[in-house]
Amino acid sequence: MAPTLLGVHRDVSCTSCEFVFALGVDEDGHAGRPLCPNCGADLEEAPAVERTGDRLLVQKNFFRWRPPKRWEVVVFLNPSEPEQAYVKRVVGLPGEAIEIRNGDIYVDDQIARKDFREQQAVRLLVHDSRYRPPGPEWFPRWQYRNESEGPSGWSSDGTGFRHQASQSGSPGSLDWLEYRHVDPDRSNYGPVRDFIAYNGARLGSGRRVQDLALEARLDLTPETEALGIRFQAGSDPLTLTIPLDGSQPPQVSFLGKEFRTEDRAAGVASAWADQRGPHTLEASFFDHRLMVVLNGEPLFEPLDLAPSPSRPFTSRIDDPPVALGVLGTGVTVLHLKIYRDVYYTDGLSQSPARPFGVGEPYRLGTDEYFVLGDNSPVSNDSRFWSDSPVVPGSMLLGKPFLVHLPSQGVPIRVFGREPYWLPDPREIRYIR
């Protein structure tokens, strides 16, 4: 279930960008080769601290009062090993036909979409602009491009970016801050893949992940006319333009079509831009669903945009997967984060087993559930149990709701001796 829940692992500190991440350890104490998920550095000689696993509080018998919901985390007895308790996430409910296609879950031949809180529960961090290697970077993650082909007004500013007026450029053209992904497993620019740092190098399917999200912390000025967001969604980019003066609602361009969001969104965007202090913008295109949240408030109702089945993935390997644009000037980006959705693999790493729910739907019976782990490349879940992929409702033990003894810790030195590691109370968290 990593990184939602951590087993025995090591905390690895990147010697290049100072990003800290968890590297899983197996029963024999072995771990994969550590690669920084943020900057791609090979960290075989980097310092690491041994950690235990997270410990959970579970509301036993919770599901006697109501049945589990999709995307909910549950504790249950593994039907193949009835003496063993497992923790997974429910993706299939009684009576449904479940199938895994291109990393997504399909229910009765329709894609299963997540709401904003569900997306936050499963998304994986791809890059955080606050962590940068000192000095010149071999593979800079951000490039500047003005639509008018003139000079860009973007520049680096510490852990963020600043946009100032460009001396040339066509009125109405967006000036883009484009993210370029470096694949840690390949040490070069490329598309976002299903790499999970917890597993170490070369332990994943290597599949492209198109479901991406952007989170930005911004300072705006009255000279900021509009913001743009772009996702490279398959063969065509999805572009969202958000006017900030309240004159019109946001506009979406995808697959050669224009989509107008609801009228109230114009006022939401204008009120957000007028607020004092930093502004938080979160945008995602998961499960063919576009969502935008401003300071915790949805900008418009989720916009479901299915790709054309006749247009395959044809983007170039160096196409920026995500970009943030500005019309006008005066924006300061305090920091940017890029996330991806869980990619449910159609196979288990290093296993030839044919999985359930792949290639054809699996129909669940009455009181049967289909469960998957968040760390899909190595998760032993409904896909790979030998006898049956289902969890009967009678084998559900309860709902885990709190990490009360986190594996993350803080060092305490006593009389200058070696540090003692105590659980970090800041890591106590609810399970989503």
Residues in the chain: 432
Q: Write down the pLDDT at residue 140.
A: 87
CB–CB of 224/28 below 8 Å? no
pLDDT in tens, the chain (432 residues): 999 999 999 999 999 999 999 999 998 889 999 999 998 889 998 989 888 889 899 999 999 999 999 999 999 998 888 888 999 999 999 999 999 999 999 999 999 999 999 999 999 999 999 998 876 666 889 999 999 888 999 999 888 999 987 654 556 789 999 999 988 888 788 899 999 999 998 777 788 999 999 999 999 999 999 999 999 987 789 999 999 999 999 999 998 899 989 999 999 999 999 998 899 999 999 999 999 999 999 999 999 998 766 555 556 677 899 999 999 988 999 999 999 999 999 876 556 667 999 989 999 999 999 999 999 999 999 999 988 999 999 999 999 999 987 877 666 776 666 666 667 787 888 998
CB–CB of 226/327 below 8 Å? yes
- Every domain of the chain and the residues it spans: 9-54+404-430, 142-179+210-340
Sign of CA dihedral 102, 282, 72, 128: positive
Provide the token pair at 170: 């066509």
Q: Write down the pLDDT at residue 71.
A: 98
User: Under 8 Å CB-to-CB from 250, ≥6 apart: which residues?
Assistant: 240, 241, 242, 243, 261, 265, 266, 269, 292, 299, 300
The b/e string for 14-52 (b: 16+ C-beta within 10 A; e otherwise) is bebbebebbbbbeeeeebbebbbbbbbbebeebebeebb
Q: Write down the pLDDT at residue 50.
A: 87
Q: Write down the pLDDT at residue 408.
A: 72
Q: Which CATH architecture has domain 142-179+210-340?
A: Sandwich (2.60)
Collect contacts of 254-262 with beta carbons under 8 A, ≥24 apart: 254/305, 255/305, 255/307, 255/308, 255/311, 259/303, 259/305, 261/299, 261/300, 261/301, 261/303, 262/300, 262/301
CB–CB of 344/105 below 8 Å? yes
Q: Write down the pLDDT at residue 294.
A: 98
pTM: 0.93
